Amino acid sequence: MAGAGRGTQPRRQPPPGSDAVTAHPSPAHLGQAALARELTERGLLSPQWREVWEQTPRHRFIPDPAWKQLRRGCELLTGQERMDLIYSDEPVVTQLDNGEPGGPGIATSSNSMPSMVARQLSALDVRPGHRVLEIGTATGYVAALLCRRVGEEHVFTVEIDGVLAAQARANLDNEGLRPTLRVTDGEMGLADHAPYDRILSTCALREVPLSLAGQLAPGGILVAPTTDVFYGGATVRLARQDNGDLSGQFFHGASYMPMRSHRLEKLGPPDTTTARRRETGLDPERLYPLGFALYGSARLPGVRMTHGFHHDVRTVWLQAEDGSAAVAGGGTVTVYGPRDLWAEAEEVEVEYAARGRPDTPSFGLTVTPHGQHLWLHAPTEVIPAKSPREAASL
């Protein structure tokens, strides 16, 4: 039985037929040991977490088929290529198109990059006996790691997709682990077992749901990847304050699939009859750092920014719901619609440079019942949004 409440890690005998570690480790277990060693050497796993990772081979949580995420889609992998991907520091896509057949092949669930998982778990700062809520069970891999660190009776995990939840339950059963697993929308958390000492989201949040904030115990910690229309992803560590607010710093860039209810609708194409082209001295590379993207997301709320390459040239696309847009690359920019989004971005980049181009950990987030806001260096230094008058004056 689990002894996590007494400061020990649960140790279960592997079920019959499993490829458990023996006197002759399997190639998969050798791969898991190598992965754990690599993460430890990078400073991402403590001795306690390394032991847990070595006990939890990743391949036992990866379904077949599985896919590798490429720039233009997902590539099906089988055989040794599949195993090589599993034991690399790469994400493994485990579901396409919400599981619906005949779709365009868009990744909708994955087993996250191991280094990202290790960073999240380190930031979560769990102790044996802590009550932990995980948002997004997916394959059950992270839930298994948590069970072996804090005790299965202290782990609660929710998954919105019933098929994924059933697969995760089977994976966990095969490991002899039985955390509380529910099929429900993670945005609502799991109120009937609250409060929790720790909450971990494995899907990206556009805003931290107040329902989750309310289920965190006083002094508790929430770790979640966040995403905004202006930046691809950044992970934040929030602590519950005495007044019930959550506040903390961003600590690493991370691109996670958004919570289903936080997915964005695509905007329509801009009106090409309004196109205005000109030269620009602002290199799109200067808008690429996550620090700038965090700052810009606060200053230009609602503006979407996407980076990519067009004919091997770094290109930035900006777009707003009023039909305004801008496409910049190779020294020129084309602007569409009523707002000059590129001029606004140029102004924000000048501000960011004047502040010394602060990096990701310089930024933080505070969540209150009245909304959430980004700050720079200290929670009292809230980054204000540009006013409509400021935007119109550019």
CATH value at residue 202? 3.40.50.150
Residues 55 and 155 in one domain: yes
Instruction: Inform me whether the pLDDT recorded for 70 exceeds 80.
Output: yes
Angle at 340 between CA 337 and CA 342, to 5 degrees: 125
363 occurs within a structural domain: no
Domain boundary among 262, 282, 316: 262
Domain boundary among 262, 297, 321: 262
Contact 342, 328 (CB under 8 A): yes
Active site residue 109: yes
Read off the pLDDT of residues 328-356 as tens digits, 9 standing for 90 and up: 999 999 999 999 999 999 999 999 999 99
Residues 221 and 327 in one domain: no
pLDDT (0 to 100) of residue 30: 76
Instruction: Inform me whether the pLDDT recorded for 17 exceeds 70.
Output: no
Q: Look up the domain containing 179 and give its range.
A: 32-262
Q: Which amino acid is at 374?
A: L
Distance CA 95, CA 101 (A): 11
Read off the pLDDT of residues 85-140 as tens digits, 9 standing for 90 and up: 999 999 999 988 888 888 888 888 889 999 999 999 999 999 999 999 999 999 99
Residues 214 and 196 in one domain: yes
Read off the pLDDT of residues 221-243 as tens digits, 9 standing for 90 and up: 999 999 887 887 899 999 999 99
Residues 126 and 189 in one domain: yes
175 occurs within a structural domain: yes
Distance CA 177, CA 61 (A): 13
Burial class (CB in 10 A: 0-12, 13-18, 19+), 176: middle
pLDDT (0 to 100) of residue 380: 96
9 occurs within a structural domain: no
Distance CA 234, CA 338 (A): 31
375 occurs within a structural domain: no
13 occurs within a structural domain: no
Average pLDDT for the chain:
88
132 occurs within a structural domain: yes
Residues 128 and 191 in one domain: yes
| Mean pLDDT in residue range 21-44 | 79
CB count within 10 Å of CB 367 equals 24
| Mean pLDDT in residue range 257-277 | 81
Element holding 296 (H helix, E strand): helix 290-299
368 occurs within a structural domain: no
pLDDT (0 to 100) of residue 106: 84
pLDDT (0 to 100) of residue 327: 96
Q: Furthest-apart CA pair in the chain: how many Å?
A: 73
pLDDT (0 to 100) of residue 227: 87
Residues 257 and 281 in one domain: no
Angle at 63 between CA 59 and CA 66, to 5 degrees: 95
| Mean pLDDT in residue range 377-394 | 77
Residues 255 and 339 in one domain: no
Which of residues 263 and 47 earns the better pLDDT score? Answer: 47
Q: Which pLDDT band, with edges at 50, 70 and 90, does 387 fall under? A: low
Domain boundary among 340, 355, 370: 355
Residues 26, 109, 112, 261: which is the catalytic one?
109
365 occurs within a structural domain: no
- Return the exposure string of 330-359: e unless at least 16 CB atoms fall within 10 Å of the residue's CB, then b: eeebbbbbebbbbbbbbbbbeebeeeeebe
Residues 165 and 99 in one domain: yes
Residues 41 and 141 in one domain: yes
Count up the domains in the chain and report the number. Answer: 2
Residues 179 and 312 in one domain: no
Distance CA 161, CA 273 (A): 43
Residues 305 and 245 in one domain: no
Instruction: Inform me whether the pLDDT recorded for 22 exceeds 60.
Output: no
Instruction: Inform me whether the pLDDT recorded for 65 exceeds 90.
Output: no
Residues 195 and 54 in one domain: yes
